């Protein structure tokens, strides 16, 4: 919010957000974070900043997390298939998964997406009959974390 120059509607929420950042850094139990998240997520300034999520690294799954915090904290919480599909794990390196589908053996290759990994990609595609490129639509208008100017989606193709 500081980078976007959007203040909290309630000035007390600035202190709460700073406390929240410290607690997250310390790996405190999520139960300690819930009241803080609940207060911040309804602040008009926070909601305005969320509307500018493409200008920093915030996507729609973060908002879903904030809105689902009350159910997530329970030890018996089990995510839905939809929630699992929306998770994101930043990977580096190259991971291969092979599985059968009808009469085909499908090889799924996660090339990490990191700029430093791209030179290694070419070796993944030897002896392939088809390639399906999957791109994140969430990144369509999001800017790069490194420069806050370049549109992430365009950069992925270079």
Domain range for 142 = 94-156
Same domain, 64 and 42: yes
Same domain, 54 and 103: no
Binding residues for GTP: 85-91, 110-114
Binding residues for Mg(2+): 91
What was the pLDDT predicted at 57? Answer: 67
Among residues 63, 86, 109, which one ends one of the domains?
A: 86
pTM: 0.56
In CATH, what number is assigned to the domain containing residue 62?
1.10.400.10
CB 9 within 8 A of CB 39: no
Query: How many domains, the chain?
Result: 2
Binding residues: 85-91, 110-114
How many angstroms separate the CA atoms of 18 and 15, rounded? 5
pLDDT tens over the chain, length 158 residues: 677 788 999 999 999 988 888 877 666 677 778 888 888 888 999 889 888 766 666 767 777 888 888 888 888 989 989 888 777 777 777 888 899 999 988 888 887 666 666 677 777 777 778 887 777 676 666 666 666 666 665 555 55
Among residues 26, 58, 86, which one ends one of the domains?
A: 86
């Amino acid at each position: 919010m500081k980078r976007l120059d959007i203040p909290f509607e309630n000035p007390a929420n600035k202190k709460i957000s700073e406390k929240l950042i410290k607690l997250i850094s310390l790996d405190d139990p999520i139960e300690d974070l819930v009241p803080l998240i609940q207060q911040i997520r309804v602040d008009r300034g926070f909601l305005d900043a969320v509307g500018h999520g493409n200008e920093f690294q915030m996507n729609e799954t973060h908002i879903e997390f904030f809105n689902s915090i009350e159910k997530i904290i329970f030890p018996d919480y089990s995510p839905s298939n939809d929630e699992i599909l929306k998770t994101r794990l930043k990977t580096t390196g190259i991971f291969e998964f092979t599985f059968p589908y009808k009469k085909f053996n499908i090889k799924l290759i996660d090339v990490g997406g990191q700029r430093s990994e791209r030179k290694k990609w070419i070796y993944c595609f030897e002896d392939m009959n088809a390639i399906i490129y999957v791109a994140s639509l969430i990144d369509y208008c999001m800017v790069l974390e490194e420069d806050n100017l370049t549109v992430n989606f365009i950069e992925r193709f270079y």
